[in-house]
C-alpha cells in the first residue's frame, strides 16, 4: 500500500486542486448553459426574484420544479442582490463542482497517496455527467454528498448527517448515499 501523504502535502495538493476546480468552474460559468430541467427551476427563481411569487407563470400556483429549495435559494439571492438568477446558478455550480472535487480528494487522500487522490478529484471536476447538470441542483447535492461521505469517514456523524440532509432536500435520490452510510454503521 502506498505511503499516506503528510497533512501539509494533502492540504497543499487539495488546495491546488480546489483552485483548478474553481478556475474550471469560472470558465464554465461564463460559457455553459444549464440543462433544460435547470431552466424550469430558474424560471421559478426569476419569478420569485421579480416579486411574482414562487411560480412558473405568474397567477398560476402549480409547483413544477424538481428542487424547490434550490429554486428558492437562487431566487432569494437574486431578489436581494438584483442579479440574474442564471448568474447565481452558474457560480453555485462552479463552487459546488470545486467543493465536490475537494471532498473527493480529501476522502481518498486519507487512505491513499496524493496521485490517487488527485486522479479522483480531477475525475470528479471534469466528469461529463456532472458538467452536463450545470446550473441545476445536482452539483450542489453531489458536493453535499461528498461532504457527507468525508465526514462519515472522519467519524463526525453530525456533520455527515447535516451534509446528507442538505443533499436529500435538494434531490430525493441522494437518500441512496445516506442509506449507504446508515447501513455501514450497523
Q: How many helices (H) and strands (E) does the chain have?
A: 9, 0
pLDDT of residue 27 exceeding 80, the answer is: no
> Which grid coordinates belong to 59?
397567477
Mean pLDDT computed over every residue of the chain: 85
186 vs 104 pLDDT, higher one: 104
pLDDT of residue 13 exceeding 90, the answer is: no
Task: Give the contacts of 40 (CB within 8 A, at least 6 positions apart).
Answer: 56, 64, 65, 66
Q: Give the torsion through C-alpha atoms of 77, 54, 170, 14, to 10 deg.
A: -20
pLDDT of 49: 95
pLDDT of 46: 94
pLDDT of residue 155 exceeding 60, the answer is: yes
pLDDT of residue 115 exceeding 90, the answer is: no
161 vs 17 pLDDT, higher one: 161
Task: Write down the pTM of the prediction.
Answer: 0.83
Span 125-139, pLDDT tens digits: 888 777 777 788 999
pLDDT of residue 43 exceeding 80, the answer is: yes
> Which grid coordinates belong to 148?
457527507
Least confident of 4-18, 42-56, 99-113: 4-18
Residue 37's pLDDT band, with cuts at 50, 70 and 90, is confident
Amino acid at each position: 500500500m502506498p505511503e499516506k501523504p503528510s497533512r501539509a502535502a494533502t492540504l497543499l495538493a487539495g488546495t491546488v486542486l480546489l483552485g483548478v476546480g474553481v478556475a474550471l468552474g469560472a470558465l464554465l460559468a461564463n460559457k455553459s448553459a444549464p440543462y433544460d430541467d435547470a431552466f424550469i427551476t430558474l424560471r421559478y427563481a426569476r419569478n420569485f426574484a421579480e416579486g411574482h411569487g414562487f411560480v412558473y407563470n405568474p397567477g398560476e400556483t402549480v409547483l413544477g420544479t424538481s428542487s424547490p429549495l434550490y429554486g428558492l435559494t437562487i431566487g432569494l439571492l437574486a431578489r436581494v442582490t438584483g442579479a440574474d438568477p442564471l448568474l447565481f446558478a452558474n457560480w453555485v455550480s462552479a463552487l459546488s463542482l470545486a467543493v465536490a472535487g475537494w471532498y473527493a480528494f480529501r476522502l481518498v487522500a486519507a487512505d491513499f497517496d496524493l496521485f490517487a487522490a488527485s486522479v479522483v478529484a480531477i475525475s470528479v471536476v471534469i466528469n461529463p455527467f456532472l458538467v452536463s447538470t450545470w446550473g441545476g441542483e445536482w452539483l450542489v447535492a453531489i458536493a453535499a454528498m461528498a461532504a457527507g461521505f468525508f465526514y462519515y469517514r472522519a467519524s463526525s456523524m453530525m456533520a455527515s448527517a447535516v451534509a446528507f440532509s442538505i443533499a436529500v432536500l435538494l434531490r430525493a435520490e441522494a437518500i441512496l448515499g445516506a442509506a449507504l452510510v446508515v447501513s455501514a454503521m450497523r
